Structure 1
Amino acid sequence: MQNNELVSLLLEPLGLSDDAILYPLSGGAINCSFYLNDDSKEFMVKRFQGEQSLGIDRQERFELQLQLAKKRLAPKPIYLSTEKGVYVEEWIKQHRSQLLLFFDELHINSLASALTRIHKAKIKTSRVNLPREWHQYLTTLPNPPSYLVEEVTQATEKWIEITETTQEDEVFCHNDLSWAHLCIPTKIILDWEYAGIGNRYFDILSCAKVNGLNTQQHDFLLSAYAKLNNIPINKVYDACSQQASFLELTYRLWYEAVGIEP
């Protein structure tokens, strides 16, 4: 879909004038993002890609973000066309935090604080089912190697076993909290595609991974989170260690499914 076609699609549902202008935004591994301006009206527009590979229920995500917007955790969703793969939400001033060349203690504390806010939010939504995601990603591969199928089978058994004994660690999670998803100082958080009820330590590890934290920064994130949530640091390390293999498998399969290099 060309940009002018996208604007035409949104003219009626958003009440746009013929002077509306669409500006492409950088960032995003798969989806295309745009800033839409029409005089005093401002919107964030997304055109989704790789829907078959990811298996995301966009209507369910739209309804989730309505909940999050009411709690001032996310921008208000405005429009969704599942048929066209187009989504629109309110534009947040100072929309994205500046990309960092290096994470210092201040920035890592901000990530830990954002994780804490998310984990303490009382949100009604579906539970993250990692084995279902793994199998969804596998189905997108023409001929998945037998070793990978076996790895998913073993990981599924391990995940079920561990999940039964760690239910106290299940909270609302973002699962893709990069620095670019934080809007400072509004405290609004972006991109909730992979959010759901899940293991808090998986979410912490995912945050460390998507931000490319080194070992020292990774350890500081765990320590900062432990302090903010009054959890013994040994508990945080042990629980993260338990979730590490699930995280690596999830990301590896995701990259395979969408067909891009890590």
Structure 2
Amino acid sequence: MVPSPAVIEAVQAQLGPLRDGPVPLDGGITNHNFRARFADHDVVLRIAGRQTDLLGIDRDAERLATAAASDLGIAPPVLLFLPEHGCLVTTFVPGTPIPDPQLREPPALEAVARALRAFHEHAPALPTTFDVPRIARGYLTLARDRGGAVPAAAWDAAQLAERIAAALTGPEHVPVPCHDDLLGANILCHEADIWIVDWEYAGMGDRYFDLGNLSINNGFVDADDERLLAAYWDEPCTERRFAALRLMRSMSDVREALWGVVQQTISDLDFDFAAYADRHLRRLRATVADPRFERWLLDAASP
């Protein structure tokens, strides 16, 4: 796929003539991303995939979140938003994904923790919510109604999300602006700069989802989670906070698994979504089988 002539013309009208590209960028299994130069602007064109609104993606919220993160110095600036073309244009920033081992250690761990807390506490409210139990129900209903294959384990996962959400109450779980898709590929570094990109799932949600999502997507173990929480809160980790993060690792797998289930029925991308869903369902079953799981539910609900 390449950007349509209409997209190129719309960008040229505001940024100047196309000088180079567009060249496809690797990564991403929902959208199409391209690097290009318009006049003196080195940019990334982000073209939304087909029917991504069915995944709960709000493109205006993505734009607002990206702009807010840019204001905080943790995301590239937004140059254009062309909703009629499903296109977001941001400044291209140099950077490469932070390898898992490096992300789990200082100074990267502290930098990412500070960036997330800054966004959670200082970004403006977003016009959409990110509630995993609601998202799970919506994904499964959509997949079923479109004749997709919905494994029994997927319905069990949705019920588990309800149970976890019931344990996570109190001031620290009041909805805040969140990123909600902290894959390693979305956290870049260049020299001293940390960039968080791909804000399409951003919405008002539980900050612990971001922390748990970051943890499970990047191979964190218990000690890494304790360091992450200490860096995020700038004080020693507590049992309640540790339990909340560990439960949100499971919540992340619920979302990823059911996302894979629904993508099988709506996506036009060449990707094995069935295997993706199965991988996350299997990891979720292993987590629930951890003898500490029930204790985490109790600890997370404690005052």
User: How does the TM-score come out when normalised to structure 2?
Assistant: 0.71
1:121-160 aligned within 5 A:
121-125=122-126, 126-138=128-140, 139-141=142-144, 142-145=147-150, 147-148=152-153, 150-151=155-156, 154-155=159-160, 157-159=162-164
CA separation of 1:3/1:244 partners in 2, compared to 1, >3 Å: closer, same or farther? closer
Q: Distance in 1 between matches of 2:247 and 2:170?
A: 10
Q: Note the C-alpha offset of 1:250.
A: 0.8
CA separation of 1:166/1:4 partners in 2, compared to 1, >3 Å: closer, same or farther? same
1:197-236 aligned within 5 A:
197-211=204-218, 213-215=219-221, 219-229=223-233, 230-236=235-241
CA separation of 1:7/1:232 partners in 2, compared to 1, >3 Å: closer, same or farther? closer
For residues 2-38 of structure 1, give each alpha carbon's deviation from its aligned partner in whole angstroms, at most 9, with x where no partner exists: 3463663434443332534212111112222111113
Q: Which runs of 5+ in 2 are unaligned?
A: 265-272, 277-303
For residues 107-157 of structure 1, give each alpha carbon's deviation from its aligned partner in whole angstroms, at most 9, with x where no partner exists: 434433333333333421243222222133221352454735642653454
Task: Assess if the C-alpha contact under 8 Å between 2:136 and 2:158 holds in 1.
Answer: no
Q: Report what 1:258 is aligned to.
A: 263
Task: Assess if the C-alpha contact under 8 Å between 1:21 and 1:38 holds in 2.
Answer: no
Coordinate RMSD, CA, aligned: 2.9
Q: Report what 2:200 is aligned to.
A: 193
Q: Report what 1:105 is aligned to.
A: 105
Amino acid at match of 1:182: L
1:1-262 aligned within 5 A:
2-3=2-3, 5=5, 8-50=8-50, 51-92=52-93, 94=94, 96-100=95-99, 102-103=101-102, 105-106=105-106, 107-125=108-126, 126-138=128-140, 139-141=142-144, 142-145=147-150, 147-148=152-153, 150-151=155-156, 154-155=159-160, 157-159=162-164, 161-163=166-168, 165-170=169-174, 171-180=176-185, 181-184=187-190, 185-211=192-218, 213-215=219-221, 219-229=223-233, 230-259=235-264, 260=273, 261-262=275-276
CA separation of 1:242/1:189 partners in 2, compared to 1, >3 Å: closer, same or farther? closer
Q: Distance in 2 between matches of 1:194 and 1:11?
A: 24
SS in 2 for 1:79: strand
Amino acid at match of 1:133: I
Q: Distance in 2 between matches of 1:136 and 1:9?
A: 37
Q: Note the C-alpha offset of 1:190.
A: 1.3
CA separation of 1:65/1:109 partners in 2, compared to 1, >3 Å: closer, same or farther? closer
CA separation of 1:152/1:177 partners in 2, compared to 1, >3 Å: closer, same or farther? closer
CA separation of 1:173/1:8 partners in 2, compared to 1, >3 Å: closer, same or farther? closer
Q: Which runs of 5+ in 1 are unaligned?
A: none
Amino acid at match of 1:113: R
Give the paired residue count. Answer: 256
CA separation of 1:21/1:167 partners in 2, compared to 1, >3 Å: closer, same or farther? same
Task: Assess if the C-alpha contact under 8 Å between 2:36 and 2:42 holds in 1.
Answer: yes
Task: Assess if the C-alpha contact under 8 Å between 1:131 and 1:152 holds in 2.
Answer: no
The more displaced of 30-39 and 238-247 is 238-247
The more displaced of 69-78 and 42-51 is 69-78
* Percentage of identical aligned residues: 22
